[in-house]
Amino acid sequence: MNTFFDPELHRYLIGSLFIFAGILHFVRPAFFMKIMPDYLPWHKPLVLISGFFEIAGGIGIMVPTLQIFSSWGLILLLLAVLPANITMFQKAHHKHGFSLYTLMLLLRLPLQFVLIWWVYWAGVL
């Protein structure tokens, strides 16, 4: 069954997305450090740790024996980084006011829950 609604296809798609995003944490850590909430210490180590777990989860969701465990890990990771997405919007809004850019960041917040559902559907159900 190789249709668009095949969960296996989606495990590879979302796994690849997480691997790519995780690699970006190592290639461009400064970008991710800027969006970290100020109340969190050790910004660079946390960026690198989250990048590692994005890569590990992305690989794991593609391995049948690891997919459920990895899916739950990715869901927890998506919830854990939600404050960074909120901070990214807040900092942009404070700097630029309400603009197309800040609107896109605001609309990105519910996307986090779409990603959570996508991981759950592809890897757990």
At 47 the pLDDT is 96
pLDDT, one tens digit per residue, over 92-114 is: 999 999 999 999 999 999 999 99
Map out the domains of the chain as residue ranges.
7-123
Q: Is the dihedral of CA 47, 48, 53, 55 positive or negative?
A: positive
83: Cα within 13 Å, side-chain hemisphere? 8
pLDDT of 1 over the 70 cut: no
At 70 the pLDDT is 98
At 3 the pLDDT is 84
pLDDT, one tens digit per residue, over 61-79 is: 999 999 999 999 999 999 9
pTM beyond cutoff 0.85 = yes
